[in-house]
Structure 1
């Protein structure tokens, strides 16, 4: 049976952490470990986590150096186990109780055991409105993330050789994905599922600082994809306009809430 390491990073988001936990414990597929990396929260999360008496939970609460330092701690723990790792941060949720079951079945039925699995997802706005989003083909990785990282499953043996790079403060997940897929056989070892796998909380730091993140993306594409300057800056312009439109819609959504 396929094992999943579900890594949850948290810092002062107790309400979101509880939602994430509920989406995990409702799963019909029971072969998983919930790995929580809490950054010494002071909003009651540490106390709440201390009351969880669950053999499937691996909980750490300590000071860290930021989001990707915490995600690296989770990566190390998750990839030390067999199977696959998913990064489901506090506030994010698995789409429904059958997600792990469906992903496990797809892995077991694949002709070639995949090293990377991903699928569709929903975005959740600050007013809790859900927006359906579809994953892009892996060969479009140069454009940006093919899906949200909460809808991505990384094979642990290969994942254990990588880390989130600490020189990227907002887009280290994009960089890690590029390095991960550069090390596998595409598309043979990649499995895209045409169904929603998660609900991504849009109120996270990377979304709030989206304009800074797309600047990091330019550097990542140049460094790891060797993309030409012309293509890189055309993409930068398109992403900038898209982010601006999203920020306007988000402001409208917030006023309507």
Structure 2
């Protein structure tokens, strides 16, 4: 298969992203990969976010600025605007890992339903903190998520035909179920063995860690059963506290 270059819809959700949005935009518009549709969904910011968007408007495929019901409602708006073969969420503050990341992914000429990779955590200055606490498995399936969200939402590229809207019942963990539901629909899943994204530490989920974990537990119990979820949380907890003890972060 030659010249495999599917259309990738990259969606950025932002609200009052004055300090973070421009870096995100640059990481996307400077990709060496040619077939990108870039969409920005702004939640009616009250700072100069819209001015930043307008600065790069000629390199943005579509954008809106209007009130929403939260981050997942904004993500759903991105889905509705997208026309690409694949969707990839790189939200304000996050970055694509390297300028040639997409080019390297599709150089494989592998027509997968889902591509995944690793994630590096960064601080507010863009400095690398270290890899994400959870490590992607060599062979990802939906059952992998019984051990937690082993692949970051920002390092998960999925064919649009596999996805649904985010479930707005969940305020902090709808991305967990969204990825899990897509994984359940296919076994054509490709491990890029690349770091795909840089994730800004301290986002909405981390700011609401207890509520997010409760939601995630409900989702896991729904898909894997209550007893297996309780059992797996023994190991999830051990790994969590071991990581915190070693790295002084989570």
2:58 paired with 1:54: yes
List aligned pairs for 1:23-38, cutoff 5 A: 23-38=27-42
Structure 2 match to 1:8: 12
Is the CA contact (8 Å cut-off) linking 1:215 and 1:236 kept in structure 2? no
Residue 51 of structure 1, CA deviation: 3.0
Q: Could you tell me how far apart the structure 2 residues matched to 1:164 and 1:244 are?
A: 32
TM-score (norm 1): 0.85
- Secondary structure of residue in 2 paired with 1:170: coil
Alignment deviations for residues 63-85 of structure 1 (CA, whole Å, 9 cap, x no partner): 0000100011112222xx13211
Higher mean C-alpha deviation, range 128-137 or range 35-44: 128-137
Structure 2 match to 1:39: 43
Structure 2 match to 1:254: none
Q: Could you tell me how far apart the structure 1 residues matched to 2:88 and 2:36 are?
A: 11
- Secondary structure of residue in 1 paired with 2:131: strand
- Secondary structure of residue in 2 paired with 1:54: helix
Structure 1 match to 2:197: 198
TM-score (norm 2): 0.87
Structure 1 match to 2:171: 169
Q: Could you tell me how far apart the structure 2 residues matched to 1:67 and 1:114 are?
A: 27
Is the CA contact (8 Å cut-off) linking 2:18 and 2:48 kept in structure 1? yes
How many residue pairs get matched? 238
Is the CA contact (8 Å cut-off) linking 1:214 and 1:239 kept in structure 2? no
In the alignment, which of 178, 182, 185 is matched to residue 183 of structure 1?
185
2:119 paired with 1:142: no
Residue 220 of structure 1, CA deviation: 0.5
Residue 52 of structure 1, CA deviation: 2.5
Q: Could you tell me how far apart the structure 1 residues matched to 2:242 and 2:212 are?
A: 13
CA RMSD of aligned residues (A): 2.2
Is the CA contact (8 Å cut-off) linking 2:15 and 2:44 kept in structure 1? yes
Structure 1 match to 2:88: 86
Residue 236 of structure 1, CA deviation: 3.6
Q: Could you tell me how far apart the structure 2 residues matched to 1:131 and 1:18 are?
A: 22
Relative to structure 1, is the Cα distance of residues 126 and 51 closer, same or farther in structure 2, using a 3 angstrom cutoff?
A: closer
- Secondary structure of residue in 1 paired with 2:195: strand
Is the CA contact (8 Å cut-off) linking 1:214 and 1:240 kept in structure 2? no
Which ranges of structure 2 fall in alignment gaps of 5 or more residues? none
